Structure formats: C-alpha cells, structure tokens
Structure 1
C-alpha cells in the first residue's frame, strides 16, 4: 500500500524497471493496436479452448457432444457476463488512471473484486443446484440429460474462478497490460489440452468422459487464475486498497455497477436474440441450420477481431477521457472506426470468395455448402456494420455514455431484427436469406444510430459532455 502523497505515482501499475517501483502508464503509451492484438489472441485462445472441448466430446460420443453443446449455451452466457462485467470495471479504472486518481482506482479494484466474488459464488451455486433443471430446459432427457447435468455441476465449481479472473484481466487491461492477460489465456489453454489428454483421451488414463472434460476446464481455469494473481500482485504490482468508509464502499460499488450493468445487459439480450433466430432458421430447414452453425465459426473469428479492437479502443479512450484530451479521443476514435469496418469488409470478402473451399472443411453435403456460400456472401452486408457498432459503442462508453449503446442494441434487436427475420424468412418465403437481410438491417441501423450519437456528442460546443479537465485531488 502507498503511504505519503509523494509516493502515489510509484504505486500505480506500469512497466517495472530495474528494481524500482512501478509508475502509472501514460496515455501516449496506450495505443489502440498495441492493446488490441493481445486481446484478439486472448479471445482466440478462449475460442480454441471451446473447440478442443467439442472435439474431445465428439471422440466420446455424438450424444455427449450434443448434450454438452446444448448446455454450453448457458455456460457461454454466464462466462460472457463475467467478461463484460470485467470490461465495465476496466473502463472505470482507465478513466480514473487518466485523471491521475491512483488511490481512488486502487479502491475501485478492491470493491470490484468483492462484486466479482459475490457474483461468482451466487452464479456457481445456482448452476450447481439447478443443473438438472437447466439441462431439462434445454430439451435434454435420458442419457443426454445425465451428460448435460454432469457437465453443468462440474463447471459450476469454476464460476467463481472465471469471475475473479475476469476482474483481474480487466485491471491488467486498464493499465495497458493486455499482453500479460493474453499469456494467462495461453497458459490456461495449454493446461486444458494436457489435462484433457490425461483425464479423457489417454489409453492408460482415467477416461472420465464428460466429467473429465468439464474438470479439465475448471482446473485449467484455476491455473490461469493463479498465474493472473501472480502477475497482478507480484509482477505488475497493482495495489488494492480498502475504501476508508462504508459510504465510500457503497459509492464505488454503485459507480461500478452503473458502468457494468448496461455493458452486461446488451450481450444478454443479444444472446437471447440469437437463440430466437436459431429457432427461426430451424423452422426453415435442417440444411440451412447446419450451414448457419458452420458459417458462424468463420464469422465469429471476424467478430473477435472487431471485439478486440473495440476493447483496446475503449481502454485507450478511457485514459484520454480522464485526461480531458478531446482531440486525442476524436483522432483515435475516427481511425479505429474506419480501420475496424475496412478490415471486417476485407476479411468478409476474402472468406466469401473462398466460400466453397471453406465450407468443404465442415461438410461434403452440396446443399449445405451452397447455403453456406450464400451466408458468407451475406457477411458483406452486415460484418462491416457490426465492426462499426463495436468500435462506436466502445467510444461512447469510454466517454461515460454507457446507457445509450445498450438501449439502442436491445431495442433494435428485439424491435427490428427478430420480428423482421421471422417475417422475411417464413411468411414472405425468403428462408434463410430473409434472416440475413434482417441482420443487415439491424447491424447497419444500430451502426447509424451510434455514429450519429457520437458525432453529436463530439461536436466542439458539446465537448464538456464527454470530457472534463483533470482536477488536482489532494487525496486521490
């Protein structure tokens, strides 16, 4: 912990030099790309970890893969909530660091850790107690129900680990240490693969099946968490400080929830919209549903790049907002908005041009391949807009406007996308093409609404609404 005021700058996290202390990272050191590429690799590791689990389950039996695939929707939703909660906290930390309030941000770390622990305990307990009910809700019965219940019960033990890991990852990211967070993800992935071989695939091993896959994930997450703890507290030197009073504790908690709740709600409603869309596509036909599942594996990779760019942008702009640098915010946001959309368009074009070859990786069914090629070309209509949504929403959140992106996302998703997807695909007979048209309308409409909002707020006469001049705080 830091004592005297003259030591405050040496208590914040940054690059450690020699044997001395650490210093708060300056905004000039937090470029968008340098923050984003480790986040992309971190997201890729998480994605690969899921693929390894699915592949392993397929080696056990198709029933095991299908059952766990069904309940994984719920698990993915929970992990996504932890991740977005960590990102919301990261935004609060970044803004405070940009303002130079080192002591204040140390108190935010402490309160955020308490919130993540509480959420992890509650969610883990609910997953364990209601594991069988949740599996039934996903339509499982018989042997499939047993597989799904077993997987949820074991994964429930790791909920707290995932929650705390998300908090520590957010703290590292806010201080510019996205590369270190990436190393934690890589280590988790490696340990998961080794444990799966030992517990599930090794001919001379225990062959624990579904339980072994779930246990591998939990134990690997524990190793990743321990490594993150070592990074945060011993390598980087981030300090956690208990607030001086209960009043400060509640005030910090309220501020953190103000930023994290909208950030968590939007992906929750998005996930629900994807479930509704899947049911619509299933009603169209099994070939179309299979093609949609396969092409999601491709478009999700493009989406991960956009997500990484938006997270790096949010951290960078958070520091600039705290420092009151409106010109820097405008320049960095403009460049990221253009780059994100342009790269997404280029990747979508390359993928669509190679559609037949790409779909051949997944299936030999000519009808599924044809449907998949159509879906990949449709990516040109919505993937650039999706990238613009992510970067613009992150820009708005970075300057403190967290409610508007969430409200727009929820209202347009459920007021435009889902109804339009149903109408165009089934009553109008456009099948899966109708869903893609609805998705293009949804993504581009949201991108337009967010862009208009950002241009309105960033006008010079309204600059005071998104940034403030840094103040000297004798305590923080």
Structure 2
C-alpha cells in the first residue's frame, strides 16, 4: 500500500497518459489492418465500432469511479473496508459486463442494421460486434483491476498491462490477418486479435493484482454491507459515467452539423481530432492522477494539502494546454501536409488547430476541477453541469452559428469555446465556494446510509 497522502500527481499521471496512448494506438492498429483488408471492411467496422467504443468507455469510467472510492478508504486508513469494496466492485463489473456481452452478441446484427449497414457491410459489422462486443466482460474486468491498481498508486503497472495488450494485439493481427502464411481471417481475425489481446491483458492484470502486488479482496460480512458498498460504488461511478455518455452523443450530433457544412470541413475535423485528442489525453491523465492523490488526502482529512495540490495542478494543466495548443497551431502547415494534399481541407485543418487555443485550456481546467470536486465527494455537480451546458448551450449555438449564420466550421469552434470556458467557470466557482473543501459523499437512499454506518 502506498504511503497515505504521499502520492505525487505527476508520478501518477505520466503512466496514465502512456496507458491512454497505448489504448488509442490499439484502435489505430485495428483501423490500419482493416484498411489493408478492404475499404468496405474498414467502413463497416468503423460504423459498429462507435457502439463498441462507447460501451467500453463506460466500463473505463466505471473503473475510475470505483478507484476514487478505494483511494478515499485507503486515505482513511481502512484496509479491511477497501478490500470489501474491491470484492463488491468485482461482482458489479462481472454482472454488468456479462449482461452487456450477451446483449451485444445476440443483438449484433440488429445493431449493425440500425447503423445503416446492408449486405456485405452488414456481415462485416455483425462479425466484428459479436466478437468484440461479446468480449465486453473482459474489458469490464480490466477496467475494474485498473482502478484497483491506480488507487494504490500502481499506475505504472496498469500502463505495462496496456502496453502488453497492445503488443499482443499487433502480434495476433500479423499472424491471423496479414501474414501470407497465416489463416488470413480478415475482419474476424482483427476482432479475434482484439478480444484475445484483451484476455491476455486481463490475465496479466490478474497476475499483477493477486500475485505480484498481492492485493487482497474480502467478502462483506452481511448482505446489508454488500448492498451498502454497492450503493456507494454506484453513487460515485454513475455520474462519472453519464457525463461522457452524453458527451459522446453530442459528438455524433456535432459530426452531423459539420457534415451539413461541407465534406472538406468534416474531413479536416476528423484529421485534426487525432492531434487535439492527444492534448486531451494529457489533460485527462493529469486529472486522473490528481483525483487519485486528492482522494487519498480527502480520506486522511488533509484539507490544506488538498487546496494547495489542486490549485497547483489546475494551473499547471492550463499552462500545458496553452503551450501544446500553441505548438500545434504553429505546426499546422506541417501537420496537415501529413494528412492531405487538398489545399481547402488543409486550410480548414490549420484553422481548427489554431482554434484549440480557444477551448483546450478550458477543457483542461474542466477535467482537473471536476476531479478535485469528485475527490472531495461532489460527484454529481460536474456531471450535471457538463450535460446541461453541452446540450443547452453548445449544440444549439453550434447549429445557429455554423448554418443559419453562415460561419461554418468556425461557428462550431466558437460554440465549443463558449461551452468549454463556461463549464470551466462554473466548475471553478463551485470549487472556490466549497467551505473548507469539506468531504462529502454522494446522496444515498436513507436505508443505504443506515446500512453503511461503518463507512461514515
């Protein structure tokens, strides 16, 4: 167990960044392999993969919510209690993961049909979703174990697990799909490579948790305690899952708006996302590291250190986002030359990269402030603000500025800047107005509160 309250944000964050980068690279490898098969295969799988990615992302955020509960209990010096949390979280991830796996396997063809796929495209999409979606329970367990490792400060071990998974995936694709002496299984081979690599990563994570680090799980003594722990885990995880879910849906609507503006703008948006997503990964990793560190401090009741660490990390995140956005803006000509030879798409892409200065610093502040709020128990406010502002401000403004007012893609970027900076302001006001940054727990049903007296 790491020393209580003695976890450095940067030492926690850089492995998380590499872990996120490795996971992102795994998706790029799959897309590249599918492109080597055929454009039809890549297009069909790309359509259904939005569903699979959405589901797997939810498990990831569920694991992060559990990680915060574990970190707070570790900070309070309650090793027995946290072992019970691990056990209950494992049950939740198994049950939910199995339910999703069965649903996606059985309904794969229906889901692919809803995505507009027909004929050979439908067959490609169904095959991929049955295998990758059917293995969702594996991703669920990987996310749960990753949360356990992160809460205990072992983010580097979680990073190694992600890198190992990526290496296995690449190896299997080379053997099952691309090798002239292999079976050349096409889409089925890519999907099997992803599922088997995830299984290998899960086995590696299990070895790390139970044998290498020797973290122990313990079954709660009574059914009442089990229900209370489950309610607490859900109370921390559900808001953390809802905000990115609504964000993902908003991105689908945004893509439709941009496609109505023009195909050149849509292509430029897709290309520049690969760059801005990297900056977003850095901010996300920093916020996750901050949340773990503050969770330990919140459990230990070290209010002054919470204030100081949150202030310094939030400022560092904004400065880093400004610097990275400035570098990408200045490098726009070189970056876009690597994606396209079309001058109109390149010009639109360069504009989008410069627009990062308008919203990426605000995005960083949102992530780090939301993590600070969640660490002291305020998990609902960031989710509510994110959902309401995104759907009530950003989407209507993006539509109005881009299409009726004729600003095109620039209108979408202005709306995004308004959205990100407004949410950052509201988060900051909430953080500054917390009296003494006192710890609070998400509101639970009254019977659950009575059943969890040992955790108050």
Residue-by-residue CA offset, 1:1-55 (whole Å, 9 max, x unaligned)? xxxxxxxxxxxxx3xxxxxxxxx53212x11000000000000000000000001
Query: Taking structure 1 as reference, are residues 430 and 474 closer, same or farther at Cα in structure 2, changes over 3 Å only?
Result: closer
Is contact 2:89-2:230 (8 Å) kept? yes
Is contact 1:321-1:466 (8 Å) kept? no
Is contact 2:22-2:166 (8 Å) kept? yes
Match of 2:57 among 57, 62, 80: 80
> Match of 1:169?
146
Residue-by-residue CA offset, 1:435-455 (whole Å, 9 max, x unaligned)? 000000000000000000000
Is contact 1:103-1:475 (8 Å) kept? no
Q: Which ranges of 4 or more aligned residues in structure 1 deviate by more than 3 Å? A: 463-467, 473-476
Alignment of 1:69-108 (within 5 A): 69-108=46-85
Matched, 1:126 2:103: yes
Shift of 1:130: 1.2
Is contact 2:363-2:420 (8 Å) kept? yes
Q: Distance in 2 between matches of 1:213 and 1:66?
A: 14
Shift of 1:465: 5.0
Q: Distance in 2 between matches of 1:219 and 1:199?
A: 12
C-alpha root-mean-square deviation of aligned residues, in Å? 1.4
Alignment of 1:75-224 (within 5 A): 75-224=52-201
- How many residues are treated as equivalent by the alignment? 445
> Match of 1:298?
275
Shift of 1:156: 2.2
> Match of 2:449?
none
Is contact 1:25-1:175 (8 Å) kept? no
> Match of 1:260?
237
TM-score, scaled relative to structure 1: 0.92
Matched, 1:399 2:376: yes
Q: Distance in 1 between matches of 2:455 and 2:290?
A: 29
Query: Taking structure 1 as reference, are residues 456 and 131 closer, same or farther at Cα in structure 2, changes over 3 Å only?
Result: same
Alignment of 1:279-294 (within 5 A): 279-294=256-271
Q: Please, which moves more after superposition, 163-172 or 129-138?
A: 129-138
Q: Distance in 2 between matches of 1:362 and 1:279?
A: 22
Matched, 1:325 2:325: no
Q: Distance in 2 between matches of 1:464 and 1:443?
A: 26
> Match of 2:337?
360
Alignment of 1:57-72 (within 5 A): 57-72=34-49
> Match of 2:210?
233
Shift of 1:329: 0.4
Match of 1:452 among 418, 421, 429: 429
Is contact 2:19-2:162 (8 Å) kept? yes
Query: Taking structure 1 as reference, are residues 93 and 465 closer, same or farther at Cα in structure 2, changes over 3 Å only?
Result: closer
> Match of 2:3?
25
Shift of 1:157: 2.7
Matched, 1:269 2:232: no
Q: Distance in 2 between matches of 1:271 and 1:362?
A: 24
Matched, 1:408 2:385: yes
Matched, 1:351 2:333: no
Q: Distance in 2 between matches of 1:464 and 1:474?
A: 19
> Match of 1:470?
none
Is contact 2:298-2:439 (8 Å) kept? no
Matched, 1:44 2:29: no
Is contact 1:172-1:178 (8 Å) kept? yes
Q: Distance in 2 between matches of 1:351 and 1:75?
A: 30
